[in-house]
Structure 1
Amino acid sequence: MEKQLFIFLAKLNKLLLPSFTKKRLDLTKASKLQMLIFGWRLYVTKRALS
């Protein structure tokens, strides 16, 4: 059940949140908000795949 939730969140993230890797964002110059979004997407993706 929990995995299904993270799979759904991963799909939602893909639709709603920007992809910083496609924009070639330099993480050393990213703002706090950009780092938060990046970390959230990474967390959800890891949980959806495991």
Structure 2
Amino acid sequence: MQKQLFKILAKINKLLIPGFTKKGLDISKAKKWQMAIIGWRYFVTKNSL
């Protein structure tokens, strides 16, 4: 049940939240809000696998 929830969240993230790697964002120069989005996407992806 929980894994299905994270899989749905991962699909929503992919549609709504921007992907910074395609834009060539340097992690060391990322702003705090960008780091928060990266952290959220990592958390959801890790739990959906």
Give the TM-score band, short-chain normalised: over 0.9
Normalising by structure 2, report the TM-score: 0.97
Could you tell me how far 1:24 is from its partner in structure 2?
A: 1.0
Unpaired runs of 5+ in structure 2?
A: none
Q: Which residue of 1 aligns with 2:47?
A: 47
TM-score, normalising length: structure 1: 0.95
1:14-41 per-position Cα deviation (integer Å, ceiling 9, x unaligned): 0000001111100100000000000000
Aligned 1:7-46 pairs, distance under 5 A? 7-46=7-46
Q: Distance in 1 between matches of 2:5 and 2:24?
A: 29
Structural RMSD (CA): 0.4
Runs of 4 or more consecutive aligned structure 1 residues displaced over 6 Å after TM superposition: none
Question: Structure 1 regions of 5+ residues with no counterpart?
Answer: none
Among the aligned pairs, what percent are the same residue? 65
How many residue pairs get aligned? The number is 49
Provide the residue aligned with 1:2 in structure 2.
Answer: 2
